[in-house]
Amino acid sequence: MERPAWAPQGIDISVPSVSRIYDYYLGGSHNFEVDREAAREAMSHLPGLPKIMQANRAFMRRAVRFAAAEGVTQFLDIGSGIPTFGSVHEVAREVSPGAKVVYVDHDPVAVAHTEAVLAGDEAAAVVSADLRKPAEVLTAPGVRDLLDLERPVALLLVAILHFIEDADDPYGAVAELSRSLAPGSMIILTHATYENIPLSHEQAGGAVDVYRNIRNPLAMRSAEEIAGFFAGYEMVEPGVVPLARWRPETDPGQEDPYAFSGFAGVGRKA
């Protein structure tokens, strides 16, 4: 298999990557055939996956604009993946030109590509770290050097928590991160769920099985379970809702039914 110039040395390009599969769904070019095969297999069960990812990104952009408009100028995006058009630093700076952004991911392709995108940008950085080890995230040089945790930070956990199984204590990880944030900070979160998917549980489960088979199992959680991640935060209206229903810019009734798959919410730390 030929290694593209953008692929870091030392990574196994014969193994599918969640961030590269996501890049494929969004129409990106930083993915390999092994990623595309896994994506096509998942889409054979759940054909609306690209639409779900687009709705997820659209929510992220609306939420980042909201946080910036509320005066938040620092953003910590964990599980940031491979940058595509309309990434957090671009969206935040449309509202707050001096916004500082730190991206965190443990996929070496995502980290390497983000480094290339951010070259020369002194107000943004990328850190190689894992959400399951929040202390490592918080003490990483890129986070310590760029963000002032004594001031409000928007913590983004977009399409990442469903890859953390209960055995790895995702609630504990979020709580540890949250304790380090100053009052006025925000949490911006999306999560996969079986609720609202316009297919049977069994059909959608076929796509979930694909992720299990590539050793990135999906933990599909209920609205109530997802709301638990907001413990200690005051919910921003309209609360935890389907992706397309969080402060839509256009009539959500015109959206593809798959745009309502997944839950999203924003909380503010008192």
Residue 109: pLDDT over 90: no
- For 161-190, the DSSP string reads GGGS-GGG-HHHHHHHHHHTSPTT-EEEEE
Query: Tokens for 105?
Result: 């991911």
What is the greatest pairwise CA distance in the chain? 52
Per-residue pLDDT at 2: 66
The CATH label, of 3.40.50.300, 3.40.50.150, 3.40.50.2300, 3.30.750.24, for the domain at 54-193+222-269 is 3.40.50.150
Contact of 186 with 88, CB cutoff 8 Å: no
In this predicted model, what pLDDT tens digit does every residue of 121-166 receive, in sequence order?
A: 999 999 999 999 999 999 999 999 999 999 999 999 999 999 999 9
Average pLDDT over residues 166-175: 98
- Residues above pLDDT 90, as percent of the chain: 87
Tell me which residue of 267, 253, 268, 242 sits closest to 58, measured CA to CA: 242
Residue 6: pLDDT over 90: no
State the pTM of this model.
Answer: 0.94
Per-residue pLDDT at 14: 86
- For 29-53, the DSSP string reads S---HHHHHHHHHHHHH-TTHHHHH
Contact of 129 with 123, CB cutoff 8 Å: no
> Rounded to the nearest 5°, which phi and psi values hold at 242?
-55, 150
Q: How many CB atoms sit inside 10 A of residue 263's CB?
A: 26
Radius of gyration for the chain, computed over Cα atoms and rounded to the nearest angstrom: 18
Query: Tokens for 200?
Result: 């049977």
DSSP state letter for 74: E
Contact of 148 with 155, CB cutoff 8 Å: no
Give the span between the Cα atoms of 238 and 172, in whole angstroms: 25
